[in-house]
Structure 1
């Protein structure tokens, strides 16, 4: 009896049967991860256990509408909170509740909450201003338990100028410890009325977001009235001053067309203001089919700060249809010293010898080797089914190896989509020029050699689809198989049974969902890191 009384939790966990039984009742992998991190011995024990969980994907996309109750829009004798309705769509609320009750792992897509906000309340009584804001902010349920790790907030808004001000003010009544990025509609930059109030101007709008350091604006197409307008500049400067209180503060303008001159001029105007406050500006270009772009020169703006558009570009997405346009694009990309990610969508064309010679003879101008911040490269082949399969395979392989030869050795993530075939020759070439690739995404392609992945010296994460019969290198820590199409017949069941049999010997932990996505790994103490990866790979 005395010996039994002296048993510690560690002693109990040493018993295999007892430990495995306990782990069956610990549903969430985050909890198992925390348990494994309590001491090294727990980590060693759990590391040898086989753990299987179901996974549920949650689109955390909500619609919030604020309007007056019928007939009460002018009932000023009543408190404002008795005159309004705040409604949320049942579908998204139900999905959130089901995700919380799910007996398995619930993962929020993109680690992001999207709020579609429709404010239709016109003017409101000044004395009740704060209570109204607090009520609206509370309805977002930002601190719902399932959202504790969310890093991205995305607000979409359909309302007039005054009501956009209301949404902006609501942020100062919200708080969340993990949110790192907030995305606001670009239209909110057009002269928010709330900033006429001194109490609002001196308020720290982002005080409740301790981890925040990025503010993103998705720029609509040129024809939109909000595509490049900052109004009189008061709103953007107000946001910059508040964001400047955060470490590594950054403002991002996404989906920017290089010829959006209105936006470029306005970014130029705030550049010096941001520079003095230590706030970075990033531009994410979406160049589309544009072959010839103006190369913006370094200029001096009204604040006497040196300003170059090229130095602000951190991402570009380009569609390339010929060898000639490929050469022009590579030349443009080479001027982006701070480029972090690049996406090329390539039509059916062969990079000809003249283009290759031009690049090789002047790598300073016709390569990305000087883009020392480039970490991610995505190549997407825009397939043409009428082409010869054999010739297409050879052409794509040659193009892929040549493009790889133009890349810097800083690239850590490579994504290949739609029609590429990987052989040992290709992967050895890619590894030679990009030796630091840690994550490879390979979708809708084929493997010519079963051991071709062994050429990558530092590969830790491999993401693919289909039923790859290949060797998984010892360096792989996370292996993800996601199906593009899902079938529920006996053939499909046999396929998934074989998939699990093949890889569960190598990886003791795995999750799967009802659509044929499987996530294999071993180190439970890295689950939070792996979770962040898988949240961003399935759309």
Structure 2
């Protein structure tokens, strides 16, 4: 009898014992993804397996320190030599990845951004040395980005603002094909023209996937007011950026020193409009709604801070009293391009207190704001943790807030709500029927089937509490083992183990940590689909 001795890889993978052995040896989820992409049949064979892997959360903050001549007088009167400069990189990610492969652990960065800080102590350099130095530093940054291939955002942290003009030189030399968003401090564009000599004409040419440029400020902005009319560099930057596919310019956290540089901001806006760049404005505090001179509230339309309501895409509000809530909601009605709304509620019984003031509660409806996709309702801890507020009152507040929202909301986050009922979730889905993603932190349930009201739910994420039941539409579940502000009715070690067993049967893929954080899904593709969503929304 002749025995076959030459087997193709596909034929080997069809043998259960061999397939399971190969899968056991794979060290990361990227390996599974790459294997499954070999062909459709391999994908089918791998995808049907039950796969469980340990994961490790990694708090990532790479730092580059550049030592130059430390004497400030000497560094200003003579050029430094390259031999006097040392680039020191503090980045433990590579070793962490190696350890993960060694022990078959999946390493997951906490957050999808590469938050890079550069401490630059370099003074004057000759033109040739400057070019060499920039290339050396760029190589270090490219290596940092290459290791983090799943991260799509590169954020340059403000660290040593006196040399931040160099960020543009770095971007001018950077080559990367995964980064889609770059964050730079606004003042990196506010130095004298001499600092930008040698920039490539097309600054962002090497960033092939880039389509978002985020500008943010800090108290350091006050040092740069003499350069607010530096138009040339802004025009060059935005002209280059406009060549990208669907470019978006985002202003973020502009509260610091805004009045001092308002004309500079308007100049940037004018240039962006000239090059047909889409503009977004993220407002992250109600401070930006206040007039600094007399602390009076003002509308977005007339406010000296932000008269540009058509650009606002993200808004965060801390409502500490009814007056702030009323004023904010009235102003938000004119935000036709608002995409993300974050409401932090510090008082309860909203509806009754507003009616007591003689105001029609329907005046605050945002149902015509059809661009809103993301909603965060954050009931502050003191309302629930000590039972200072009746649970039914919080439920009434939640139902009232839901009634104000448009049907376009797809992602809902709720923080700190006890004993959620069917009645509450039915009201939520009555006004927001298209919710696909839920992020619930410190949310417990009174009714086991409370989530069945969400007919389109695909993702459920919680930092600390398992849902008692999930709709069969859910394809991704992530639950942490974080601290609970209050214990759910069924919170016990035995119940947690029961939930783990239940969801392990429901899903074939599981990632877990030593502290019992768990991620469940069925399809290999699902992990790649929701990885960054999890990294940005999972509280550990």
TM-score normalized with structure 2 length? 0.87
Structure 2 gaps of 5+ residues are 291-295, 485-490
Q: Distance in 2 between matches of 1:188 and 1:425?
A: 52
Q: Residues 76, 236 of structure 1: CA spacing in aligned structure 2 closer, same or farther, 3 A cutoff?
A: closer
Query: Partners in 2 of 1:359 and 1:36 — Cα distance?
Result: 62
CA shift in 2, pair 1:267/1:393, >3 Å: same
User: Offset at 1:333?
Assistant: 1.0
* 2: CA distance, partners of 1:89 / 1:215: 26
User: Which one of 248, 251, 258 corresponds to residue 250 of structure 1?
Assistant: 248
- Tell me the distance in 2 between the aligned counterparts of 1:270 and 1:285: 17
Match of 1:209 among 187, 207, 214: 207
- Report which stretch shifted further, 427-436 or 45-54: 45-54
The residue that corresponds to 2:329 in the other structure is 330
Q: 1-side partners of 2:149 and 2:166: how far apart?
A: 25
Matched, 1:423 2:421: yes
- Aligned partner of 1:117 in structure 2 is 118
Alignment partners' CA distance in 2, 1:505 and 1:463: 18
**How far is 1:535 from its partner?**
1.1
Within 5 Å, which residues of 2 pair with 1:247-396?
247-257=245-255, 260-288=258-286, 293-297=297-301, 309-353=308-352, 355=354, 366-384=364-382, 389=387, 391-396=389-394
- Distance (whole Å) between structure 2 residues aligned to residue 36 and residue 93 of structure 1: 25
Other-structure match for 1:527: 527
Per-residue CA distance 1:397-443 (angstroms, 9 max, x = gap): 01111111111111000000123432101111111111110001111
**Alignment partner, residue 41 of structure 1:** 41
Q: How big is the shift at 1:174?
A: 1.7
Q: CA separation of 1:250/1:81 partners in 2, compared to 1, >3 Å: closer, same or farther?
A: same
Task: Work out the CA distance in 1 between the residues paired with 2:425 and 2:358.
Answer: 21
- The equivalent of 1:86 in structure 2 is 87
String of CA shifts for 1:202-221, please: whole Å, max 9, x gaps. 53221111111111122226
Question: Take 2:80 and 2:145, find their aligned partners in 1: how far apart are those partners?
Answer: 28
- Counterparts of 1:90-239 in structure 2 under 5 Å? 94-95=95-96, 98=99, 103-142=104-143, 145-159=146-160, 161=162, 163-194=163-194, 197=197, 199-200=198-199, 202-220=200-218, 224-225=222-223, 230=228, 232-239=230-237
Deviation string 1:223-269 (CA, Å, 9 cap, x unpaired) is: 95469984523333332112111111112111234994345443322
- 8 Å Cα contact 1:443-1:464 kept in structure 2: yes
- 8 Å CA contact 2:69–2:123 kept in 1: the answer is no
The answer to whether the Cα contact below 8 Å between 2:355 and 2:361 also exists between their aligned partners in 1 is no
Cα separation, partners in 2 of 1:495 and 1:25, compared to 1, 3 Å? farther
TM-superposed deviation, 1:98: 4.3
1:159 Cα deviation after fit = 3.7
Corresponding residue of 2:487: none
Structure 1, unmatched stretches of 5+, are 300-306
Q: Using a 3 Å threshold, how does the CA distance of structure 1 residues 309 and 448 change in structure 2: closer, same or farther?
A: same
CA distance in 1, matches of 2:415, 2:357: 27
The total of aligned residue pairs comes to 524
Q: CA deviation at 1:169?
A: 0.4
Report what 2:449 is aligned to: 451
**In the alignment, is residue 241 of structure 1 matched against residue 239 of structure 2?**
yes
Q: TM-score, normalised by structure 1?
A: 0.87
* Secondary structure at 1:142 match in 2: helix
Q: Which structure 2 residues correspond to residues 16-35 of structure 1 after superposition, within 5 A?
A: 16-35=16-35
Distance in 2 (CA, whole Å) between partners of 1:89 and 1:224 is 30
Equivalent position of 1:505 in the other structure: 505
Match of 1:433 among 423, 427, 431: 431
After superposition, the Cα gap between the structure-2 partners of 1:397 and 1:196, relative to the gap in structure 1 and judged at 3 Å, is closer
Deviates more, 1:249-258 or 1:116-125: 249-258
Report the 3-state secondary structure (helix = DSSP H, G, I; strand = E; otherwise coil) of the residue aligned with 1:4: coil
Query: What displacement does 1:191 show?
Result: 2.1
Change (3 A) 1:127 1:257: closer
